[in-house]
Amino acid sequence: MYKILVTFVLGMFCFSGKARQLNTEVSDTFRVYGNCGMCEKKIEAAATSVKGVKSADWDRESNVLILMFDEHLTNSLDVQKAIAKAGYDTEMVKGDDKAYDKLPGCCKYERKE
Ligand SMILES: [Cu+2]
């Protein structure tokens, strides 16, 4: 009886491991500070330039970015670092100051302290 139980439990582990390997695409949402349609293009381009990112959709009104990515290839923090390099503050990473200075006037969003 004990052996049957052990086999069953091990089988469950194998099964859940396989299921996880098949579906590695996950989503995350976080804020990215910006103003206009040009910001949207740059933010989304910076996000999708990261290997493993499937899609990035930034909403101008709410400043929320919806990210879909392969968790085996990248993670939310790395994507936020790439966006920060383009001059935009994200929830976890402060935007690069030099890149921010180079943004066109319409894109100079108000920065949090
Ligand atoms: Cu802009």
Q: What is the pLDDT of residues 4-23, one digit of tens each?
A: 777 776 666 666 655 555 67
- Which domains are assigned to the chain? 25-107 (3.30.70.100)
Instruction: Measure 105 CA to ligand 1 centroid, in angstroms.
Output: 8
CB 75 within 8 A of CB 27: no
Pairing type for strands 25-31 and 53-58 reads unpaired
Instruction: Measure 80 CA to ligand 1 centroid, in angstroms.
Output: 17
Q: What is the pLDDT of residues 35-94, one digit of tens each?
A: 999 999 999 999 999 999 999 999 999 999 999 999 999 999 999 999 999 999 999 999
Q: Is residue 110 packed enough to be buried (19+ CB in 10 Å), middle (13-18) or exposed (0-12)?
A: exposed
Instruction: Measure 19 CA to ligand 1 centroid, in angstroms.
Output: 41
SS3 103: coil
Q: Which residue's entry shows tokens 């909403």?
A: 59
Instruction: Measure 30 CA to ligand 1 centroid, in angstroms.
Output: 18
